């Protein structure tokens, strides 16, 4: 996990020694730092590795209104050292870039708020178990009501009665389903069962963009 500490708190996944995948709406202004190996947000730890951002590259089709394509690559000023606290999260293989079926059990981790509407972020890295919800349900009148549309490039997932969810500060966190990195935390209403967490699915199109961007960067 990568902690992105700037104007806002976000998270991300180290996918290469010097690349982090996060959400496009995580604004890289304010000279944010990327902290790898962090467990706490309040104090520096022995195994932390801190990097400045060399380059922030948003997915070119990102739409801030609909959150479609809410992906961003951060190139680090330096390469991470692999330790027991820092490791690379492998991207899905080409065959895994398909959809994630409803009722699939997944988990997401981050430093986001642990209470609805709370301004205070969690000091410690926490994990939530979530279950994938059918997009038809997510788009119905009791849920997002097509505002925005939860399309095929997104995963809708939440906990029972909304008690487990990603929250403010978790943006960019990786969604892991059946031990495979399947999505990136985008938006939601923090523990509200009517507005489950929405994650950007790592589709073949998204994976191709990630690989081409990393290969073409200087």
pLDDT tens digits for range 3-62: 998 767 889 999 999 999 999 999 877 788 999 987 766 556 677 899 999 999 999 999
The yes-or-no answer on residue 43 being catalytic is no
Q: Give residue 117's pLDDT band: very low, low, confident or very high (50, 70, 90).
A: very low
Q: Is the pLDDT of residue 121 over 70?
A: no
Which residues belong to CATH 2.40.10.10 in the chain? 2-89+205-216, 94-203
The pLDDT value given to residue 114: 47
Which is higher by pLDDT, 79 or 46? 79
Provide the CATH topology of domain 2-89+205-216.
Thrombin, subunit H (2.40.10)
Strands 9-16 and 180-187 turn out to be: unpaired
As a whole number of angstroms, the distance between CA 145 and CA 129 comes to 24
For residue 161, report the phi and psi dihedrals to the nearest 5 degrees.
55, 15
Q: Is the pLDDT of residue 113 over 80?
A: no
**Contact (Cβ atoms closer than 8 angstroms) between residue 174 and residue 89:** yes
Q: What percent of the chain has pLDDT over 90?
A: 63
The pLDDT value given to residue 160: 61
Q: Give residue 88's pLDDT band: very low, low, confident or very high (50, 70, 90).
A: very high
As a whole number of angstroms, the distance between CA 58 and CA 70 comes to 8
The yes-or-no answer on residue 42 being catalytic is no
The pLDDT value given to residue 81: 96
Q: Give residue 123's pLDDT band: very low, low, confident or very high (50, 70, 90).
A: low
SS3 137: helix
Q: Is the pLDDT of residue 165 over 70?
A: no
- Give the mean pLDDT of 120-142: 83
SS3 198: strand
Please identify which residue in the block is written with the tokens 């606290």: 85
Q: Is the pLDDT of residue 122 over 70?
A: no
The yes-or-no answer on residue 70 being catalytic is yes
For 94-203, give the CATH class. Answer: mainly beta
Q: Is the pLDDT of residue 119 over 50?
A: no
Please state, as a whole number, how many other Cβ atoms lie within 10 Å of the Cβ of residue 18. Answer: 17
**Contact (Cβ atoms closer than 8 angstroms) between residue 210 and residue 73:** yes
Show the tokens assigned to 65: 């209104």
The pLDDT value given to residue 218: 57
Catalytic residue among 153, 171, 173, 186: 171
- Give the mean pLDDT of 111-125: 53
């Amino acid at each position: 996990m990568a902690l992105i500490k700037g104007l806002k708190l976000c998270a991300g996944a180290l996918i290469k020694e010097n690349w982090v995948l996060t959400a496009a709406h995580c604004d890289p202004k304010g000279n944010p730092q990327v902290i790898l190996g962090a467990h706490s947000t309040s104090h520096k730890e022995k195994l932390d590795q801190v990097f400045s951002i060399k380059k922030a590259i948003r997915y070119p089709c990102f739409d801030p209104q609909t959150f479609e394509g809410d992906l961003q690559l951060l190139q680090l000023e330096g390469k991470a050292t692999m330790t027991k606290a820092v490791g690379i999260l492998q991207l899905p293989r080409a065959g895994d870039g398909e959809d994630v079926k409803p009722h699939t059990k997944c988990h997401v981790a981050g430093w986001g708020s642990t209470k609805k509407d709370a301004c205070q972020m969690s000091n410690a890295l926490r994990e939530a178990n979530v279950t994938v919800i059918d997009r038809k349900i997510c788009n119905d009148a009791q849920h997002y009501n097509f505002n925005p549309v939860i399309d095929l490039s997104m995963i809708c997932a939440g906990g029972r009665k909304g008690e487990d969810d990603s929250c403010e500060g978790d943006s960019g966190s990786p969604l892991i389903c059946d031990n495979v990195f399947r999505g990136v935390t985008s938006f939601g209403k923090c523990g509200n069962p009517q507005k489950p967490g929405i994650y950007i699915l790592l589709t073949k199109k998204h994976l191709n963009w990630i690989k081409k961007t990393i290969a073409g960067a200087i």
